[in-house]
Chain A
Amino acid sequence: MTVADPGGRTGRAALRVPLAASRICWYLLCAVLAVSMLLPLVWTLTIALKSNADVNRLPPQFLPSQFHWSNFLTGPRMIDFYRLLLNTVIITVIVTVGSVVSSMLVGYGLSRIRFRGQKLWFYLFTASIFVPAMVGLIPMQHFWINLGLIDTWFPLVVPAFLANPVLVFLARQYFMSIPFSLDEAARLDGAGHLRILWSIMVPLTRPVWITMAILSFQLAWNDYLNPLVYLQSPSKFTLSLGMAAFVSDSAGGSSSQYNLLMATNLLYMLPPLLLFFFAQRYFMEGIGAVGVSSK
């Protein structure tokens, strides 16, 4: 005689995946994702350690036949790495500070100060995100040429102080999630907008401005087109421009030195990688919190 299962528990139990199997699947998925993320980095490292002949071998060999540690010295020496590193750090720090400060100011204005056309300005800023940077390249170049500021760092750093639309969007959205009662209370105590921004908003919005700083740092660090177009003296070059010395368009690319490129590239990518590593908690918080405001 068959005993009926009144609650249908047998059927549900059959559908339930055992805990061990679920965990194995989860770890397998994580392992696949981790490998897919790390493989390009490891591949970069192995190329950096190869001779140029090994780089061109077919089928490609994952490990070098001989380890050329000297590539980590030869590559940087070829492009005067430390000089370019200093230039890049100076430009990136100025751009990061300029972008964050100006975008925070604009974001504050668009979210906390009521004025006619407030939303329209916000939409204009947001829409400008979708205008490709290439569109403005030639007019901007004419602008800087006419000002006589070609081959200086001004074209690279000045635009950063005029607010970045993406960062303005992030800041404005984050500001909108903070109760207006805080502003009103501060105003009753006699605080002006700058005081409210500095004493109330900045501490409360730490995740978003750290996120903005990381984004801005990365953009400035990796910027290649603007230094290529605006800089002419090697003493003012940035690292992104220096890295291009290893890759040649001529002779079908056959004179490119990929091993030296990869060795130098590993050093080039270290600062943004470290920055992200140490600030990733704030970065996640900042990105996650932007969606809180729906206004």
Chain B
Amino acid sequence: MNVRRVGALLAVIASVAAATACGSGGGSSSSANTVTWMSWETDQTNQAMDKSFQAFTKSSGIKIQREAAPAADYSQKLASLIMAKKVPEFFWCSNAEEQTLASQGLLYDWSSYAKTNSGLDMSRFAPGSLDSWRRAGKLYGIPTLANAYGFFYNKKLLDAAGVPTPQIGWTYDEMFSDAAKLTGKNGAKQGIVTAWPLLTSPFGLAQYSVSAGGQPLAGTATNVKKVTADPKLVEAAQRYATAIKAGQITPADFDSTNSPSAFANGSIPLMFGGQWLAQTMVGQKIAFDWGFVPMPRVDKDVQPTETNGVCSPATLKNPDQVWKAVSYLDTTGFDDTMKTVPLAPIAYLPGSQGYFAALQGEGTGPASIATAVQAELNAPTKVQTGFVDTWATKAANIITADWNPVIDGKGDPAAGVDKTIKEINSLAGSSS
């Protein structure tokens, strides 16, 4: 082989590269009658949605085209698309992402469409679910899938320990008492194991506080300038610290990766987690009786509210078509999809029937999830499950450093709560 032949080879490679790289146009190049979208869902869920959108295309004449995004690292993908100004016309976004992007003027304001009540009847959203999607009176995202939190119980282990099966409306006194009774019995190391950190977080304790007649952490869901710790929240912190120190509840910094599998294998009597874990339970074909109940109460029924949603870029050119597509998604698209893949209820309540029907057909355990989730979504008083303002990530660091140790029983809970609140206030104040 000589130099000339190497040169020829390189030329061929370069031309192949050029040809393949420029072969077809990419990005969200949509035609006038096409709406592009992108989700973080798995292939199975996406395909179910594509199928549902085909019916929409038939009836409306609007073509819906999904842009591919890997289910993992969605945020990174979204950031790069925004930077390249190639973001699809509507895309999945978390509440915190929506607030951050809206603060930078990157999102379309849907307020005027929401006011018309055409396509979506805004009064039919679950109570409290729209609040966190507003920013300075504008609506930058439409809530879609909601998360509900509660306790999965193993009836066999509860019966063996003489603990009554928790029911909707159970109390915190019962919860702490059950945790104590179940600890160390029938192979259970702790009475309550967490599969999600909300329970012992400031927001989990705020649910206790509001239920006991206290105040929430903040007066508004977004644009939070000041947080406060109600005496009832401090009371909750003391109760949790005592229970965690006694080994009755897993600590705030517990690694919960294996909790769902451990529950499905019958070694956990009570597990705190989200409704999505039903997928693991159904997949495992659990042999024992199990069920799901919402968060307990002190006095009033208060439940957490957490939703994901869809957002559109500020540069949107065909908002009428996109609004129709998003309305279809919330009213029908998710309803169809969740019949096949029952992951989560829809914040737009009429759109959740498919989800509930799918769970009802899976046996008593999943059916109890449907009942509990319905009760949670309809609960009139809601508390947030996290900060969504632009400083939320920094606040999470403060919680890890200051809050978790005191909830785990290392130090005075009252002093720890006070310190956490002061630091978050300093952060919120400096970020405003």
Binding site for B on A (CB under 8 A): 52-53, 56-58, 78-79, 87, 90, 93-94, 97, 101, 138, 141-142, 145, 150-154, 157, 194-195, 198, 225, 228-237, 241-242, 244-252, 254-257
Contact = CB atoms under 8 A, between A and B. Distances in A.
Interface residues of B, number: 58
Given A53-B284, A142-B83, A250 B21 contact: no
Question: Closest 9 A-B residue pairs measured CB to CB?
Answer: A151-B26, A244-B70, A233-B26, A251-B276, A153-B21, A234-B68, A152-B21, A248-B71, A229-B80
Interface string B35-47: 0000011110100
Interface string B80-107: 1101111000000000000000000000
A64 B235 CA distance: 48
Contacts of A234: 68
How would you classify the secondary structure of chain A's contact residues: helix, strand, loop or mixed? helix
B72 interface: yes
A195 B6 CA distance: 13
A249 B72 contact: yes
B136 interface: no
Contacts, number: 150
Nearest to A154: B21
B261 A251 contact: no
A52 B85 CA distance: 38
A252 B196 CA distance: 8
Given A94-B17, A150-B86, A245-B43, A252 B72 contact: no
Interface stretch (B121-129, B163-171, B223-231, B262-270): B262-270
B234 to A, nearest CB: 29
B283 A52 contact: yes
A154 B277 CA distance: 42
Contacts of A233: 24-27, 68
B314 interface: no
Nearest to A231: B26
A276 B138 CA distance: 57
A245 B21 contact: no
Nearest to A225: B76
A58 B265 contact: yes
B94 to A, nearest CB: 9
B283 A56 contact: yes
Given A153-B21, A248-B40, A248-B42, A93 B13 contact: yes
30 contacts: A53-B284, A56-B284, A58-B258, A90-B17, A94-B13, A97-B9, A101-B10, A142-B83, A150-B27, A151-B27, A154-B21, A229-B76, A232-B26, A232-B27, A232-B68, A233-B25, A233-B27, A234-B68, A235-B23, A236-B21, A236-B26, A248-B41, A250-B74, A251-B274, A251-B344, A252-B276, A254-B277, A255-B71, A255-B276, A256-B42
B73 A252 contact: no
Interface of B: 2-3, 6, 9-10, 13, 16-17, 20-28, 40-43, 45, 67-68, 70-74, 76-77, 80-81, 83-86, 195-196, 258, 260-262, 264-265, 267, 273-274, 276-277, 279-280, 283-285, 308, 343-344
Given A53-B283, A250-B71, A250-B308, 4 more contacts: A53-B284, A198-B3, A244-B73, A250-B74
B76 A228 contact: yes
| Residue among B71, B265, B285, B344 with max Cβ neighbours from chain A (10 Å) | B71
Contact of B81 (A58, A87, A232, A235): A232
Contacts of A142: 83
Nearest to A197: B3
Contacts of B22: 152
Given A56-B283, A150-B86, A249 B71 contact: yes
B330 to A, nearest CB: 18
Given A97-B10, A153-B17, A232-B27, A56 B70 contact: no
A138 B76 CA distance: 11
B276 A254 contact: yes
B283 A78 contact: no
B204 to A, nearest CB: 16
Contacts of A198: 2-3, 6
Contacts of B285: 53
B261 A58 contact: yes
B2 to A, nearest CB: 8
Contacts of A246: 42, 71
Contact of B17 (A101, A157, A241): A157
A280 B299 CA distance: 70
Contacts of A93: 13
B36 to A, nearest CB: 10
Contacts of B85: 145
Nearest to A158: B17
A158 B367 CA distance: 55
Contacts of B3: 194-195, 198
A10 B83 CA distance: 78
Contact of A245 (B71, B81, B308): B71
A93 B20 CA distance: 13
A164 B43 CA distance: 36
Nearest to B38: A232
Given A151-B86, A248-B72, A257 B261 contact: no
